[in-house]
Amino acid sequence: MRSSYSRKSVVSRQAFRKATQRSPIFSGAVESGQSLTLLSDPEVSQFSQGRLRNSPKSRSQLLRILYHNQLIYFNPANKYLTGPEQLWLIESLIGTQILNKALSLGKLIDNRFIESLFKKATFTFFLSADKAYLVSSDDELTQLDFGPLTKISALTALQQFGVTTLERVKEKTAVRL
């Protein structure tokens, strides 16, 4: 019986350590001896609720990774993260518990997954009147510094500025665009 995916390559433990040494989220996988597996099958299109579904239209390659002791699949063709080592950006913005709960429901990280997290987010961002600064809070001090601020949703901010910029805004309160 043919499996629903084929393994294209398995990265050695040393290569996996080197590729993920900067990211603490993968430390459990390295310590337990797990390997990072690249899945490649023209029929694999979606991973949903623990099962791969076949679709002949899809030509994507998925990365199978261990993240917080959960097996998840990462689509490298997504437009928000360049690799699974950047998942900490999403975790920093959304929160560990919310991300883990979302990953337990849908284990494929792609554009749709990331956008759905930001669509449900309760936080917002603010643009300065001249659109030169993106700010994480709207209070008297920020209005004195940046002038009147325009409120934008987390999803709109994600689509316009990307995850990296949003994480810097959260860390520094304001970022020049």
> In degrees, to the nearest 5, what angle opens at C-alpha 147 toward C-alphas 142 and 152?
75
Give the model's pLDDT for residue 67.
86
Same domain, 101 and 139: no
Q: Are 79 and 111 in contact (CB under 8 A)?
A: yes
Domain termination site, one of 99, 119, 139: 119
3-class secondary-structure state, position 38? strand
Give the model's pLDDT for residue 74.
92
Same domain, 12 and 61: yes
Which residue is associated with the tokens 């940046």?
Answer: 146
Q: Give CA–CA dist 127/11, Å, rounded.
A: 43
Same domain, 113 and 152: no
Helical segments of 21-153, H only = 27-31, 87-94, 96-105, 111-119, 140-146
Mean pLDDT confidence for 3-24: 44
Same domain, 140 and 61: no
3-class secondary-structure state, position 7? strand
Same domain, 88 and 155: no
Give the model's pLDDT for residue 51.
38
Question: Does 57 or 119 have the greater pLDDT score?
Answer: 119
> In degrees, to the nearest 5, what angle opens at C-alpha 43 toward C-alphas 39 and 45?
75
1 inside domain: no
Per the prediction, the chain carries an average pLDDT of 75
2 inside domain: no
1-10 pLDDT tens trace: 333 333 333 4
Same domain, 99 and 132: no
Same domain, 111 and 143: no
29 inside domain: yes
Same domain, 138 and 62: no
| Dihedral angle sign, alpha carbons of residues 111, 116, 117, 118 | positive
Domain termination site, one of 119, 143, 158: 119
Mean pLDDT confidence for 44-68: 53
Q: Are 135 and 126 in contact (CB under 8 A)?
A: yes
**139 is in which domain, residue-wise?**
124-176
pTM of the prediction? Answer: 0.64
Domain count for the chain = 2
